[in-house]
Amino acid sequence: MTFLPQELIRKKRDGGTLTRAEIAFIVQGITSGAMADEQVGAFAMAVFFQGMSMDERIALTCGMRDSGTVLDWKPQALGKPVVDKHSTGGVGDKVSLMLAPIVAACGAAVPMISGRGLGHTGGTLDKLEAIPGYNAVPSPELFAKVTKEVGCAIIGQTSAMAPADKRLYGIRDVTATVESIPLITASILSKKLAAGLDALVMDVKFGSGSFMGPLEKSRELAESIVTVANGAGCPTRALLTDMNEVLGTTAGNAVEVVEALDYLTGKQREARLHAVTIALAADMLLASQLAGDLAEAEAKAEAALTSGAAAEIFARMVVALGGPVDLLEKQAQYLPLPALTVDIPAPRAGVVTAIDTREIGLAVVAIGGGRTRSADPVDPLVGLTDIVGLGAAVGPGQPLAKLHVRDEAQAARATAMVQAAMVIGEAAPVRGPIIAERLG
């Protein structure tokens, strides 16, 4: 059957429900260029205002997944479940660096396809590329080889995967239609499901440093993703996790790699970061049927850490993808932070009662550690360490965080931003649970 793009746009604009065939036609038009940018933008705007049923979301997700290469792990004869995690992004979220080797050490294959930072959020690929020699965009053959032999590989999305999403997202970005839950759902899942997964776990952030903001909006997205992914044939679970403060104590690229290495080797494990990492690892093991219940899954994840198995797998992954063989032993040599370090003083005595976590992320961008456009370069070595959390007591002049910067001008700019982001009052705030809800 032949369809006209403008008639399908009209149908959705007027609140109609598109059929699977109609959505397949739209996705094909987006991928091939048969639909003009104006038509793709109009379609996105129609969805933004009218929404989509769950069946429409499943059809859109599957169509976008199938618009390019879909990985098939059967020829690799992995003999283990293939599972991944996706986070909606935040500040200081270096969880993937620890999570992939932990879950691999527990018997899963983790082909983790991650993204770069944009706006106030950091990107896993930018963190890994702070490691000298690390190849974040290997050939498909090397990606498969490392996944099979090491157990995990963290790389970037190739242009061959979900090309419909790449074009649609670019148009959404310039037509003010990014914040559509049906389109966000299809965008996230089309890329993840193209990785040929047996199971997926979502980390959906809420709070001042999250993409979605309030818990209610984050829950709506999590419910959409879980329903659509399961409807597309991929068993999926989701956790709603708090991003009202930085996750861990660092924000940047090299500084977050250092914190991840300290975590894996047992040198230091910040409590909230540990809680999120173990919770996600446990859900990945449950989704992969590698544990019978939550207690068993958490125990397996903890054992992978304490035995050193997870650290060993991370080290092997780095070497297999071109990084140094002695990164764990000589991290200061390979991740040299800038010589200029500046303590950011608290403007007055009191207790940190609230944090604009998004502003902390933007402070990292301001010193060159992030990007506002996808083509912007990133300085991998600048960042923030020793960031205080909610409830921290500070005296006048005591540090809220430590800056690692290239020059005094950067330091002055970031200092003002971090001080403005931290609200200092008299009474300690009530901290909510780091894991607010589990879905699926």
Per the residue annotation, which of 116, 120, 191, 358 is the catalytic one?
191
Per the residue annotation, which of 65, 166, 167, 192 is the catalytic one?
192
* 172 counts as catalytic: yes
Phi-psi region of 213 (alpha: psi -120 to 50; beta: other; left: phi over 0): left
CA distances from 74 to 81, 148, 150, 361 (A): 11, 11, 17, 40
Structure token pair of residue 282: 């446990």
| Selection from 34, 30, 51, 48 nearest residue 170 by Cα | 30
* 87 counts as catalytic: yes
Per the residue annotation, which of 57, 65, 86, 269 is the catalytic one?
86
Q: Say which amino acid occupies 306.
A: T
Per the residue annotation, which of 187, 218, 241, 415 is the catalytic one?
187
Structure token pair of residue 425: 């009052």
CA pair distance 185, 57, nearest whole angstrom: 8
* 84 counts as catalytic: yes
* 274 counts as catalytic: no
Per the residue annotation, which of 66, 84, 165, 203 is the catalytic one?
84
Per the residue annotation, which of 31, 61, 87, 415 is the catalytic one?
87
In three-state secondary structure terms, 401 is strand
Q: Phi and psi of 223, rounded to 5°?
A: -65, -40
Per the residue annotation, which of 172, 205, 219, 237 is the catalytic one?
172
Structure token pair of residue 403: 């800056």
Per the residue annotation, which of 12, 85, 272, 316 is the catalytic one?
85
| Selection from 388, 387, 368 nearest residue 378 by Cα | 368
Concatenate the DSSP letters of all residues of 212-242 into one string. Answer: S-SHHHHHHHHHHHHHHHHHTT--EEEEEEE
* 159 counts as catalytic: no
Q: Which secondary structure element, helix H or strand E, spans residue 204, and what is its range?
A: strand 199-206
* 85 counts as catalytic: yes
* 74 counts as catalytic: no
Positions marked catalytic = 84-87, 124, 172, 187, 191-192
